């Protein structure tokens, strides 16, 4: 049977999608060129750059409140490509639709900086926020951490490490969008959706190898979050996958593991969509709506955590 896509925009994207040669320098140049061609995202009350524990970052604020929930966003790109400029529109849309502030972190990239450098950067930035640094311009009332694709992997690993090593700064929310939760896994969706849907299994394996060259480490708990023994330490978590994405089933398996560990989970598989749909809002109304649903989930859970924090503390 022919796959059913959410709309004509997704079908057209799949028909022409290809990462091209798997060359890091060329892919980075392509990402930069595509970023220049995107329309600006929504206007917000304030957008400014900061240094988050020594790493470049950009803060997106939908309002000028003195205290507000904050989402730390870790962008996708196979731990190898992507930066603040490439994910500026995504971050603006997240802030506008969620109604919470977003901090987009420019973490170190592989292969120059392999695992665990990006996880270290995320942990240090989240810990830095605990001190309510003045350059943010407001005080984070609660903090969530999220990411798409490889950024979702980093988000889960960073929150797990903080829960284990620095529980006083454990974030209040984890939000994953089509995340790679099991680098070594073998799931039905890898065969069903592994070719011809924009992201090939071979692409993912290339990126995995750039980040962690030794394949025997791909199933280590510090690399693949699904292998962690302490998933019960995670805060309420949003897990969103896409029907036509070969990472779909490992995302579902991660949500299953969380539910088994009695973690509150909001889970959803977006029908007819493909990997990277957060970046496809300009060509696909369905992708735009799915991105907004994800943002609303994040905003609702962070505001609930804010209310609970004010009551207890």
| Nearest CA among 79, 135, 132, 129 for reference residue 107 | 79
Residue 149 is among the residues annotated as catalytic for this protein: yes
CA distance 306 to 101: 13
Looking at residue 226, what DSSP letter applies?
Answer: G
Residue 275 is among the residues annotated as catalytic for this protein: yes
CA distance 220 to 216: 8
Which listed residue (91, 98, 141, 149) is catalytic? 149
**CB burial of residue 292 (10 Å; 0-12, 13-18, 19+):** middle
Which listed residue (106, 148, 245, 281) is catalytic? 245
Residue 256 is among the residues annotated as catalytic for this protein: no
Which listed residue (83, 275, 281, 297) is catalytic? 275
How many C-beta neighbours within 10 Å does residue 33 have?
Answer: 9
Q: What is the DSSP string of 238-301?
A: EEEEEEE-TTHHHHHHHHHHHHHTT--EEEEEEEEEETTGGG-TTT-HHHHHHHHHHHHHHHHH
Active site residues: 149, 245, 275
């Amino acid at each position: 049977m022919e796959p059913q896509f959410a709309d004509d925009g997704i079908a057209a994207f799949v028909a022409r999608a290809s990462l091209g040669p798997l060359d890091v320098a060329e892919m980075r140049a392509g990402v930069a060129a595509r970023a220049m061609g995107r329309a600006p995202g929504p206007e917000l009350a304030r957008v400014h750059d900061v240094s988050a524990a020594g790493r470049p970052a950009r803060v997106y604020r939908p309002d000028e409140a003195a205290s507000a929930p904050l989402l730390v966003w870790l962008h996708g790109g196979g731990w190898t490509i992507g930066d603040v400029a490439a994910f500026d529109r995504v971050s603006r849309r997240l802030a506008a639709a969620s109604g919470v502030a977003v901090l987009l972190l420019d973490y170190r990239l592989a292969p120059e900086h392999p695992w665990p450098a990006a996880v270290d950067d995320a942990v240090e930035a989240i810990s830095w926020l605990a001190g309510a640094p003045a350059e943010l311009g407001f005080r984070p009332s609660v903090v969530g951490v999220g990411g798409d694709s490889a950024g979702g992997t980093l988000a889960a690993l960073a929150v797990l490490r903080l829960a284990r090593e620095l529980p006083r700064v454990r974030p209040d929310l984890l939000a994953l969008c089509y995340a790679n939760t099991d680098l070594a896994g073998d799931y039905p969706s890898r065969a069903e959706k592994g070719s011809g849907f924009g992201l090939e299994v071979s692409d993912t394996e290339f990126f995995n190898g750039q980040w962690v060259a030794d394949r025997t480490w791909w199933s280590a708990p510090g690399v693949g979050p699904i292998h962690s023994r302490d998933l019960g330490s995670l805060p309420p978590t949003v897990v969103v996958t896409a029907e036509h994405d070969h990472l779909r089933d490992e995302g579902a398996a991660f949500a299953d593991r969380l539910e088994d560990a009695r973690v509150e989970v909001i889970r959803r598989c977006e029908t007819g969509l493909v990997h990277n749909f957060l970046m496809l809002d300009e060509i696909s109304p369905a992708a735009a709506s799915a991105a907004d649903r994800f943002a609303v989930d994040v905003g609702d859970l962070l505001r609930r955590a804010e209310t609970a924090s004010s009551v207890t503390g």
